[in-house]
Amino acid sequence: MATLKEAIYEILETDAKDGSAGALGSLIGMTGSAPYGVYFRNPPEGVDFGTYSILTYYISSMSGRAPAGLREVYVNLTAWGDNYEQILERVYELLHEAQLTGVTDYAPLLLVWDYGGPELFDEDLRIYYQQHRYLAKAVKL
């Protein structure tokens, strides 16, 4: 049993542990130890972007409407690195239309790709990145 945020991390973490071709693990390059290159909210200090890429995620907003507590929950995922496009393509394969089960704070959940942001360059980190947004439609428990 997990919250929505934990369930999404579990999907990403499982694939980030996989070093086979096309999996997040091979794209990120940090399969050896937790958090496997998948971080909540912001990149950690000291990431060697010459060697690794990373993925960050967070729930950016929620909106509700009647009846019965129907919610729209927006989840942002940002890929950081020279291969950010490939990482986001893999995230799409993992999350678009994913049926999340065992979630304790919402039910039932349908997760779909909603938006892709602009390609950007972070001057401080000296790295390219892009953010995609997913929409979870659910009933708040």
**What is the pLDDT at residue 75?**
95
Does this model's pTM top 0.75?
Answer: yes
pLDDT digits (tens, 9 = 90+) for 69-120: 788 899 999 999 999 999 999 999 999 999 888 899 888 778 999 999 999 9
**What is the pLDDT at residue 66?**
58
Paired tokens of 81: 């690195």
| Stretch 2-31: mean pLDDT | 94
Tell me what the pLDDT averaged over the chain comes to. Answer: 91
**What is the pLDDT at residue 18?**
95
What range defines the domain where residue 18 resides? 4-140
* Overall domain count for the chain: 1
**What is the pLDDT at residue 33?**
85
Q: What is the CA angle 73-75-79, rounded to 5? A: 170
Domain CATH code at residue 126: 3.30.2000.30
Paired tokens of 44: 């950690």
DSSP the chain: -B-HHHHHHHHHHHHHT--STTSHHHHH---SSTTTTEEESSPPTT--TTT--EEEEEEEEEEEETTTTEEEEEEEEEEESTTHHHHHHHHHHHHTTB---SBSSEEEEEEEEEEE---EEETTTTEEEEEEEEEEEEEE-
pLDDT digits (tens, 9 = 90+) for 49-82: 989 999 999 998 777 765 677 888 999 999 999 9
**What is the pLDDT at residue 70?**
83
